[in-house]
Amino acid sequence: MGRAVDPSRAAGRFAARPDVITRTTSRGLVVWPLDEAAPMLLSPLAALVWEQLDVPADLDTLATRVRHRFEGGTAPDRARITSAVEHLVSQRLLEPVGPSSARREG
C-alpha cells in the first residue's frame, strides 16, 4: 500500500480489497473500507471495475470482463478502464496482487 503503481505499464494483477462494505444505489456504489474514516461513492464504471475484480485479474482479463457486461452496448475503451483502475488503486480500493513485471523492472 502507498506504493505508486502505473497500471498502464503494469503487467500485474489487481484484486478488490475484501474488507470493504458496499451498497449499490442508482447514484453509484457506496463503499467504505473498514480502516477508512469516510465512505466513497464510485462512478458506475469504477463500481463495475471494482466488482469485476472480486476475482483477481490483469488489465486484459478485466477489459474482457467489463466488455461482457455491456452485452452489445458501447463498452468503455481500454484507456477509460485503465483510468478507473488507477483511480481505485489511488483510493486503496484495489490492491496489486501477484508479481508485476513492470515493477520488478523498475
Residues that bind other proteins (CB under 8 A): 18-27, 30-34, 39, 41
Nearest distance from C-beta of residue 91 to other proteins, angstroms: 15
CB nearer to other proteins: pick between 36 and 86: 36
CB nearer to other proteins: pick between 38 and 79: 38
Nearest distance from C-beta of residue 55 to other proteins, angstroms: 15
Q: Report the SS3 class of residue 90.
A: helix
CB nearer to other proteins: pick between 14 and 63: 14
CB nearer to other proteins: pick between 36 and 58: 36
Q: Strands across the sheet with 20-25, in order?
A: 20-25, 28-33, 40-42
DSSP H helices in the chain: 44-52, 59-70, 78-90, 101-105
Cα–Cα nearest to 51, from 84, 100, 10: 84
CA distance 3 to 13: 15
Nearest distance from C-beta of residue 35 to other proteins, angstroms: 9
Nearest distance from C-beta of residue 21 to other proteins, angstroms: 4
